Amino acid sequence: MFGLKKDWSLDLPKKYYTMDDYNGGEARWCPGCGDFAVLTAVQRVCREEQLAPEKTVCVSGIGCSSRFPHYMKTYGFHGLHGRALPVACGVKSRRPDLNVFVATGDGDCCSIGAGHWVHALRYNMDMTVMLFDNNIYGLTKKQTSPTSPQGLATNTHPDGAWLPPLNVLAATLGFSNISYMAQTVDWNPTHLYETLKSAQQHRGLSFVRILQRCPAFVPTMFEAAMQDPDKILLLEHEKGIPLDAGVAKVYKNRQAHDPSDLIGARTIADNTEQIPIGLLYHNPSALVYDDFTTQGMGMSTSDKIEALNRELDRFAIQ
């Protein structure tokens, strides 16, 4: 027919994702739990970065924080205790196009999952790992965790935890090939959001330790730092976590810290008198394991069969 366009395709506007596109339903954590703040921050990051929900996956292990995938309207995998990281690495190795978030707790990551913690950071696959650290096993109702302070009375140590807590920051900085490590707190939503946004933009494994309140079993754990900002050490640098001046002025104690300085980061990690928040270490040149696991993914089925037969022929007995 004369006068009609041959191309009937429409130029549809690009979809803009809102917070509702990432809201997977009513979160069922205890009232006042710090997990709510982290959930909101991640949803904000997804919206600001316009991460397609169908291209985003949340992986977790076992624990209160590991309910996280249920409350995100994305793909999710609620795994076994301590196994969030190997599952996430498997997802990323076969689907490098996905945006991967990992939610793990201080017990899930630093105790039963400690071996996976070491190697996942060494692999440095492109994902954002959030360690929800409330210093207690909350889901199983107040047992000592690896990060519980010495002397804390729990159901497993009613007279107080015997050993000093694991220094998560110092331990992480001792692993090889790490590329990004930051620390933040759930009661400063601005710093929490900016940290997670920075982590998501980094190519490699971004490890973010989040000091997270558990009002049900250790309600006073971080109360002193919440009431007295002088107990916080704010790390500042042009390559660090950006923070509005109005928010930064809350903290009197600040330290200029170049996140490329590993020795300086380790010194900060060993400071137990204050809680450092900010970007401790960033090495964008660290090897990313994705670059190796994705090799050959574009091969056709016939090419794969031919390659397998070629390898098997090497073991043939003439």
pLDDT, tens digit, 9 for 90 and up, residues 101-143 = 999 999 999 999 999 999 999 999 999 999 999 999 999 999 9
Rounded CA separation 180/182 (Å):
7
* Residue 69 domain flag: yes
pLDDT at 2: 52
Residue 47: pLDDT above 90? Answer: yes
> Which residue is listed with tokens 């990313």?
288
**pLDDT band at residue 5, thresholds of 50, 70 and 90?**
low
Q: Which tens digit of pLDDT belongs to each residue from 215-266? A: 999 999 999 999 999 999 999 999 999 999 988 999 999 999 999 999 999 9
pLDDT at 12: 61
Which of 11-20, 59-68, 173-182, 302-311 is the least confident region?
A: 11-20
Q: For the chain, how many structural domains are there in total? A: 1
Domain span at residue 236 reads 19-313
* Residue 280 domain flag: yes
Residue 100 pairs in a beta bridge with 57
Cβ atoms of residues 99 and 58 within 8 Å: no
CATH number, domain with residue 117: 3.40.50.970
Rounded CA separation 68/247 (Å):
27
Rounded CA separation 194/243 (Å):
7
Q: In what order do the strands lie in the sheet with 180-185?
A: 75-78, 56-60, 99-105, 127-133, 205-211, 180-185, 275-282, 232-236, 254-256
Does pTM surpass 0.85?
yes
pLDDT at 207: 98
* Residue 3 domain flag: no
pLDDT at 144: 97
Q: What average pLDDT does the segment 298-316 reach?
A: 91
* Residue 5 domain flag: no
* Residue 13 domain flag: no
What lies within 8 Å, CB to CB, of 130 at 6+ separation is 38, 42, 65, 101, 102, 103, 104, 196, 208, 210
* Residue 25 domain flag: yes
Q: Percent of the chain beyond pLDDT 70?
A: 96
* Residue 296 domain flag: yes
* Residue 94 domain flag: yes
pLDDT averaged over the chain? 94
